[in-house]
């Protein structure tokens, strides 16, 4: 064994060195990200200004696969014609989009630009101050966008890290007008009226409501759209601010508990389809299109889906919308701001990506977008040929009877809400579901190290 000593020492030394190197890297979450994370200077030479000198580049643009890529592809074709630069579109799975983006950021695999859900909570997720290009002072951009969208994007410290792009969306109750006409019911005047109409629809042999519990996310819509009509009027904006700081518990809001009880009531009255646990978003569209289902608590993403399946005339003539009614009136429509375009400061072609965004929000491209995908515009003087359901939403907005989704107003998320609701559909325990909903919200705030949650 006397000859073993040098070899043993060498191996020990190598292991110690490698372990130390590993520890050194892992002991800090963000040190590498902070050193050179200042936003790209706004005075950086743009690719278009230097187009004559530079070789064309290919930009990578990441979107969720739940987003319709058609309008983007049209805009990018125009962009290529004008600059020679290409845009490679990468669609990531919608359910894992946020996690995949966080992973890409943590491994330094930055796209040149990406489209993400709206709201400043994304800034926390992506550590925006260190990683994303800041747009706060770009007046050329903000002069094109309606002021409320800018206000929505602005953080408490007055910073903006994303440029909104797309349309104002809506959650509410989408219904088949033919079914309503056949049964002789109208959009409801209040919640009791909705339940009475649903009972009449059931008596006529048609399923009043459909819920896609199997797909996890659809049952959440009931609560988000129910919130603006029932919870917001009770707790007001001050209450939402208290939730933001954990000074109020979700479990302590009676109106929220009432929403759980309302969903249980619909289930107990047999107003949902049979075997609600097996319900899917896809089947819901098919049954609603065929007139076998009257209504669904849903988001406006259903409009292009129904158009694909049943054609434009169906969406134009037979699809209706009304907000989730309150106990006393027809309710408030829920608005969702559009997605936001973001650029990592360390993106390979960050300057070209910024130019691309400026190109995308030019009046011609904005109109091209709305021609391809009609929606309620967020750009000044933009024109869009709205569907009747979208006109209905716009009427609510214009009448001041619309409010932004509470999820877009809060930094912590309603973590695992879909799981809570699946369990709720299994056991029907209102108190347990409300407690879990509230606890998970607090856990998310704590995990994000937000003030008030520690």
Partner 1 sequence: MEKRKYPLYFSFPALAIFLLFFLTPTLIGFYFSFTDWNINADTIRFTGLDNYRELFREPRLKTALTNTLIFAACVTVLQNVCGLGLALILNEALKLRNLLRMVFFMPYVISPLVIGYIFRAIYHPENGVVNHLLQTFGLGFLAHDWLNDPKIALYSVIGTDVWRVAGFSMVVYLAGLQFIPKDLTESSAIDGAGYWSRFRSIIFPLLAPAFTVNVLLSMIGSMKVFEMVYVLTEGGPGYTTEVFFTYIRSMFSTGQFGYATAVNLMLFVLVTVVGVPVLLAMKKREVEM
Which residues here bind partner 1, judged by CB under 8 A? 1, 3-4, 7-8, 11, 14-15, 18-19, 22-23, 26-30, 99, 102, 106, 124, 127, 213-214, 216, 275, 277-278, 415-416, 419-420, 422-423, 425-426, 444, 447-449
C-alpha closest to that of 112 among 61, 164, 51, 55? 61
Which run of H or E residues covers position 165?
strand 163-165
Helix, strand, coil in percent for the chain, rounding step 5: 50, 15, 35
Could you tell me the smallest distance in angstroms from the CB atom of residue 154 to partner 1? Answer: 21
Could you tell me the smallest distance in angstroms from the CB atom of residue 118 to partner 1? Answer: 20
Residue number, 354 or 434, with CB nearest to partner 1: 434
Residue number, 21 or 77, with CB nearest to partner 1: 21
Q: Where are the beta strands (DSSP E) in 13-124?
A: 58-64, 86-92, 113-116
Cα separation, 309 vs 312, in Å, equals 9
Residue number, 16 or 203, with CB nearest to partner 1: 16
Structure tokens of 289?
Answer: 């299109």
Residue number, 112 or 444, with CB nearest to partner 1: 444
Residue number, 43 or 157, with CB nearest to partner 1: 157
Residue 288's contacts (CB-CB under 8 Å, 6 or more residues apart) are 174, 176, 210, 294, 296, 306
Could you tell me the smallest distance in angstroms from the CB atom of residue 253 to partner 1? Answer: 22
Could you tell me the smallest distance in angstroms from the CB atom of residue 223 to partner 1? Answer: 16
Give bridge partners of residue 163 from the DSSP assignment: 341
Burial, 311: exposed, middle or buried (Cβ in 10 Å; 0-12, 13-18, 19+)? exposed
What is the DSSP track for 114-151?
A: EEE-SSTHHHHHHTHHHHB---TT-HHHHTTB-HHHHH
Could you tell me the smallest distance in angstroms from the CB atom of residue 203 to partner 1? Answer: 27
Cα separation, 247 vs 242, in Å, equals 5
Cα separation, 236 vs 230, in Å, equals 10
| Rg over CA atoms, the chain | 25
- Helix or strand or coil: residue 187? coil
Residue number, 221 or 361, with CB nearest to partner 1: 221
Residue number, 174 or 453, with CB nearest to partner 1: 453
Residue number, 43 or 275, with CB nearest to partner 1: 275
Runs of H (alpha helix) within 27-87: 31-35, 70-83
Residue number, 97 or 165, with CB nearest to partner 1: 97
Could you tell me the smallest distance in angstroms from the CB atom of residue 341 to partner 1? Answer: 23
Could you tell me the smallest distance in angstroms from the CB atom of residue 106 to partner 1? Answer: 7
Could you tell me the smallest distance in angstroms from the CB atom of residue 199 to partner 1? Answer: 27
Could you tell me the smallest distance in angstroms from the CB atom of residue 345 to partner 1? Answer: 18
CA angle 363/88/341 to nearest 5° reads 45
Check if the beta carbon of residue 448 is closer than 8 Å to that of residue 246.
no
């Amino acid at each position: 064994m006397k000859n073993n000593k040098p070899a043993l020492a060498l191996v020990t030394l190598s292991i110690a060195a490698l372990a130390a190197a590993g520890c050194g890297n892992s002991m800090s979450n963000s040190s590498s990200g902070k050193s050179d994370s200042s936003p790209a200077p706004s005075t950086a030479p743009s690719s278009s200004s230097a187009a004559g000198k530079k070789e064309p580049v290919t930009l990578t643009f990441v979107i969720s696969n739940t987003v319709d890529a058609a309008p983007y592809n049209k805009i990018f074709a125009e962009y290529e014609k004008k600059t020679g630069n290409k845009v490679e579109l990468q669609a990531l799975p919608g359910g894992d989009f946020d996690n995949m983006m966080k992973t890409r950021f943590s491994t330094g695999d930055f796209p040149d630009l990406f489209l993400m859900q709206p709201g400043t909570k994304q800034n926390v997720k992506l550590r925006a101050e260190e990683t994303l290009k800041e747009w706060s002072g770009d007046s050329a951009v903000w002069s094109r966008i309606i002021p409320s969208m800018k206000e929505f994007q602005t953080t408490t410290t007055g910073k903006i890290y994303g440029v909104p792009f797309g349309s104002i969306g809506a959650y509410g109750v989408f219904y088949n007008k033919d079914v309503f006409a056949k049964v002789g019911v109208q959009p409801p005047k209040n919640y009791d009226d909705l339940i009475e109409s649903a009972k009449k629809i059931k008596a006529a042999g048609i399923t009043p409501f459909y819920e896609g519990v199997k797909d996890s996310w659809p049952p959440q819509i009931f609560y988000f759209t129910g919130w603006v009509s029932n919870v917001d009027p009770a707790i007001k904006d001050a209450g939402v601010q208290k939730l933001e700081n954990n000074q109020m518990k979700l479990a302590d809001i009676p109106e929220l508990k009432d929403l759980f009880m309302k969903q249980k009531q619909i289930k107990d009255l047999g107003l949902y389809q049979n075997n609600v646990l097996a319900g899917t978003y896809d089947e819901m569209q098919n049954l609603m299109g065929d007139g076998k289902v009257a209504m669904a608590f849903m988001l406006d993403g259903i409009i292009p889906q129904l158009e694909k399946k049943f054609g434009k005339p169906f969406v134009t003539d037979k699809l209706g919308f009304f907000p989730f009614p309150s106990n006393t009136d027809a309710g408030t429509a829920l608005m969702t701001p559009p997605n936001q375009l973001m650029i990592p400061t360390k993106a390979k072609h960050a300057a070209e990506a910024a130019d691309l965004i400026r190109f995308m929000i030019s009046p011609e491209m904005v109109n091209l977008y709305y021609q391809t995908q009609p929606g309620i515009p967020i750009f000044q003087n933009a024109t869009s040929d709205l569907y009747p359901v979208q006109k209905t939403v716009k009427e609510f907005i214009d009448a001041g009877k619309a409010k932004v989704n509470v999820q877009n107003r809060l930094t912590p998320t309603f973590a695992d809400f879909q799981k809570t609701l699946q369990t709720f559909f299994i056991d029907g325990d209102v108190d347990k579901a409300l407690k879990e909903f509230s606890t998970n919200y607090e856990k998310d705030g704590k995990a994000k190290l937000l003030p008030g949650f520690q």
